[in-house]
Amino acid sequence: THTLTIDDEPVSDTDLSSIGDRVQNALHTSLELPHPDDLRSPDFSCALLPCVALTYDDGPGEAKSERTILDAADEANIRVTYFLLGKNTDSSPEVAERIIAAGHEVDNHTFSHVRMDTTASAKIRKEIGRTDKSLQSVGVKDEPLVRPPYGALDKRASHVLGGPAIIWDVDTGDWQHRDTKKTIRRVQSQTKPGSIVLMHSIHPSTAKAAPAVFSAVADKGLYAVTVRELFSGIELKQGGSYFCRGYSDELCSNPEHPAVMKN
């Protein structure tokens, strides 16, 4: 049995702060660290070290832009997460295959970028199912996670989704300003331990920012991982919306997200 001590004197539970309680509990909990096949995957737990998931929506984009991101990720020795549209996957399967061959995580962003909170349930199921088939056709083996376009969900759509929704807590705004320097600055200023960063690989300005974005994350002492790696050890529940992972073992959320419905 392990007991916390200060100056070799045991500390009683009544002397502990809330953080101290968590440390005390951790001393009695075994921790199984991952043993990744891919050397870019973490051999540590994101419950212990500050991780961040860099994500790209709406692709596959133009081959040149995607190549810029893939080359930068390879140079930085990291993996990112792509939430691909089914229609773009079908129109550019060779680009999607290149992303998968490079070892990055690939997930579902619907087929045609519909707002789930204003789309009929049957249509949502069709959008998700059709995209799953598109992703499988280019080599995706794991059941894809889903990111709702615009982060827009209500309770009905969350139920129809049939699984967790992956949102974000850092919106670079790249889709709006199309400015490489602004994208980099937002990552530098807003990213924190546990963040999920939203970017879009269809914009050349975003692709151009990739080398500096990856460096900025490393310079902040953050470990870039995929979404699945970020949440490793946590059960993602059906109907849950996940904005980030809190440092240590707590989940964080962003209840003020403008598109998240509470009713």
Give yes or no for a cis peptide into 193 (omega within 30° of 0): no
Interior angle at CA 241, CA 45 and CA 30, nearest 5: 25
Give yes or no for a cis peptide into 60 (omega within 30° of 0): yes
The per-residue pLDDT for 166 is: 97
DSSP-derived letter for residue 15 is G
Say how far apart CA 115 and CA 121 lie, in whole Å: 11
Question: Domains plus CATH for the chain?
Answer: 1-30 (no CATH), 51-252 (3.20.20.370)
DSSP-derived letter for residue 112 is S
Element containing residue 93 per DSSP (H, E): helix 93-101
The per-residue pLDDT for 32 is: 54
CB atoms within 10 A of CB 16: 15
Say how far apart CA 144 and CA 149 lie, in whole Å: 15
> What is the chain's pLDDT, residue by residue, as a tens digit (263 residues)?
455 555 566 766 665 555 556 555 655 554 455 555 666 666 778 888 899 999 999 999 999 999 999 999 999 999 999 999 999 999 999 999 999 999 999 999 999 999 999 999 999 999 999 999 999 999 999 999 999 999 999 999 999 998 999 999 999 999 999 999 999 999 999 999 999 999 999 999 999 999 999 999 999 999 999 999 999 999 999 999 999 997 655 677 655 544 444 43
Say how far apart CA 223 and CA 241 lie, in whole Å: 22
Q: Are 142 and 120 in contact (CB under 8 A)?
A: no
Say how far apart CA 82 and CA 65 lie, in whole Å: 13
Phi/psi of residue 195, nearest 5 degrees: -65, 150
Collapsing DSSP to helix, strand or coil, 165 comes out as strand
Q: Furthest-apart CA pair in the chain: how many Å?
A: 67
DSSP conformation letters of 176-220 = HH--HHHHHHHHHHH--TTBEEEEETTSHHHHHHHHHHHHHHHHT
pTM equals: 0.83
Phi/psi of residue 33, nearest 5 degrees: -85, 145
Nearest of 82, 132, 85 to residue 105 by alpha carbon: 82
Place of tokens 């045609």: 112
